Structure 1
Amino acid sequence: MPNHQLLNNMTHHDVKIITDYSTDYGDNISTVMTFPTEFGDIQKEYPIFFRKYPDSEEFQAVVMLGLFQNDNLFLQAGNWQANYIPGAITRGPFAIGFQDQSADGGSEKAPVVHIDMDHPRVNTEKGHPVFLEHGGNSPYLEHISNIFTHMMDGIEVGKTMFAAFKQFDLIEPIELEVTLEGDQVHKLHGNYTVSQTKLNELSAENLQALHRAGFLEAAYLVRSSLSNIQKLVNWQNQKMQQQVTSA
């Protein structure tokens, strides 16, 4: 159970954050959320898919990290094998909450940073300090704040993007079927993507409208990211071969 606390430079003055990546730190996950504001970096390394929230018809973009549950293929030899790591991973033990900062009879909810004190990356011995010796924010905490700014912007952009994709009927389910070592067929369900057919069929007017909204590029980035599936298949096969060799 997370132990979220409002971050402050008195209670958490000596806190340090380990920034290595490992299953020991909870990085053994097969998917993580992503946002249109980082699609340009994400699509170079990872497949991007859409998933529906379980209790609604709303979509969220996700990065596929592995082909099996609780398996992150980007974790190799104690390192994260990619030039870009999703912001939702990089944020580590931090989360954004909202604090009432009402004044003069008005009501305003301001974003504030929380920290999960029970997260395995949190300690007082090693890693990046959260605060400077005399109480100011460390460069590491400033970096985390920038990540949250991009993530919050990305959430709002994502809502508008999915509205545009729905308007032009561009979202379609995709059933993934990959063949692994030993001719094992593995299927992944529940994923959605941008329909290449529907994208090709858009009229010049609708293409221009999607471009003006800023989401034509996002649609093509999602489509181009699918080429990264083969990288995951190759890594999974290598992992399975190693497991057989070491058995």
Structure 2
Amino acid sequence: MQNNYVLLNNIEHADLRVQEHYSVENGDGAAAVMTFPTEFENIQREYPILLRKNSATDEFQAVTILGLQKDENLFLEAGQEGNGWGGDYVPAIVARGPFIIGFQGTEDDRGETPQPMIYVDLNNRKLSRNEGTPLFLEFGGNSPYLEYISGVLRTIHQGERVGRAMYSALDELGLIEPVSINVDLKNGDKYELSGYYTISEERLNMLEGDALHALNRAGYLRGAFLMLSSLGNIEKLVARKNALL
């Protein structure tokens, strides 16, 4: 179904509700989704973070791995109580649901750029007029859920800008290297995660002087270490897969 994004407002969408449940049917069955430095702290506690190249721009972008094969999200828990997500933190790109940040108009005469606004995809299957969590309060104010979504969208919006600068800086210093991850399951099945990149721990540890200081001052050094520490979660991912066999 084609997207139909419109500017969210509390008049036309006063009765709009969202089903806060994650499932394949609701479009959450991706094996890898984009992630951002603004959420690395939370992501690295549960999920592996890798880099891949955007095929359109050839720029690096970070992804979090949720499954070992196409359209496999091992964190979806069908038939369970709760919201259907098997982790403590839901990646922002998943949590945002049918919402995105958009801009109206162009730069004005005073040089001020348009402010980010929330847009909603009216064709999204998670939306309903009858059931789910309301977006607005009875007299038009934002519901707690919409405030949460606003925070999620800020994480994405700010993270996209920080990420582009961060990955470019890491790449310029030769700290990004290709990686292939081979997985052997208990039933003998084998999987390979290929086409990804990671941070070279060896080169990172050898970094010194102005380069090291610049990375640290920009906050990129911490991001690099969070990416490296997240790789231990590959074992947890394999354990989830093995538990299904």
- Is the TM-score greater than 0.5? yes
Task: Name the counterpart of 1:19.
Answer: 20
1:147 counterpart letter in structure 2 = V
Name which of structure 1's ranges 106-115 and 164-173 shifts more when overlaid on structure 2.
Answer: 106-115
Q: Deviations over 1:142-189 (max 9, x none)?
A: 211122122211111112211220121110110111112332221121
Distance 1:106 1:40, change over 3 A: closer
Task: Name the counterpart of 2:212.
Answer: 207
Equivalences for residues 164-179 of structure 1 within 5 A? 164-179=169-184
- CA RMSD in angstroms comes to 1.7
2:129 pairs with 1:128: no
1:32 counterpart letter in structure 2 = V
Whether the aligned pair in 1 keeps the contact of 2:103 and 2:117 (CA below 8 Å) is: yes
Residues in 2 aligned to 1:155 and 1:111: alpha-carbon distance in whole angstroms: 14
Unaligned runs of 5+ in 2: none
Whether the aligned pair in 1 keeps the contact of 2:18 and 2:135 (CA below 8 Å) is: yes
Whether the aligned pair in 1 keeps the contact of 2:179 and 2:198 (CA below 8 Å) is: yes
Of the three residues 66, 73, 88, the one matched with 1:83 is 88
Report SS of the residue matched to 1:193: strand
Residues in 2 aligned to 1:180 and 1:204: alpha-carbon distance in whole angstroms: 43
2:56 pairs with 1:55: yes
Task: Name the counterpart of 1:28.
Answer: 29
Name which of structure 1's ranges 160-169 and 28-37 shifts more when overlaid on structure 2.
Answer: 160-169
Residues in 2 aligned to 1:138 and 1:123: alpha-carbon distance in whole angstroms: 16
Aligned length: 240
The TM-score normalised by the length of structure 2 is: 0.92
Task: Name the counterpart of 1:69.
Answer: 70
Residues in 2 aligned to 1:103 and 1:210: alpha-carbon distance in whole angstroms: 35
Report SS of the residue matched to 2:141: coil
Of the three residues 143, 150, 159, the one matched with 1:154 is 159
Structure with more of its chain in helix, by fraction: 1
* Shift of residue 109, structure 1, vs aligned partner: 2.8
2:53 counterpart letter in structure 1 = K
Residues in 1 aligned to 2:18 and 2:46: alpha-carbon distance in whole angstroms: 26
Whether the aligned pair in 2 keeps the contact of 1:98 and 1:111 (CA below 8 Å) is: yes
Task: Name the counterpart of 2:149.
Answer: 144
Q: Deviations over 1:162-220 (max 9, x none)?
A: 12201211101101111123322211211111011111221244322221121111111
2:213 counterpart letter in structure 1 = Q
Residues in 2 aligned to 1:155 and 1:104: alpha-carbon distance in whole angstroms: 27
Residues in 2 aligned to 1:180 and 1:217: alpha-carbon distance in whole angstroms: 32
* Shift of residue 23, structure 1, vs aligned partner: 1.3
Distance 1:109 1:205, change over 3 A: closer
Report SS of the residue matched to 2:232: helix
* Shift of residue 4, structure 1, vs aligned partner: 1.5
Q: Please identify runs of 4+ aligned residues in structure 1 that moved more than 4 A.
A: 101-107
Unaligned runs of 5+ in 1: 242-247
2:103 counterpart letter in structure 1 = F
Identity of aligned residues (%): 45
Name which of structure 1's ranges 38-47 and 194-203 shifts more when overlaid on structure 2.
Answer: 194-203
Distance 1:101 1:166, change over 3 A: closer
Residues in 1 aligned to 2:155 and 2:213: alpha-carbon distance in whole angstroms: 26
Whether the aligned pair in 1 keeps the contact of 2:101 and 2:157 (CA below 8 Å) is: no
Task: Name the counterpart of 1:182.
Answer: 187
* Shift of residue 62, structure 1, vs aligned partner: 0.7
Whether the aligned pair in 2 keeps the contact of 1:93 and 1:121 (CA below 8 Å) is: yes
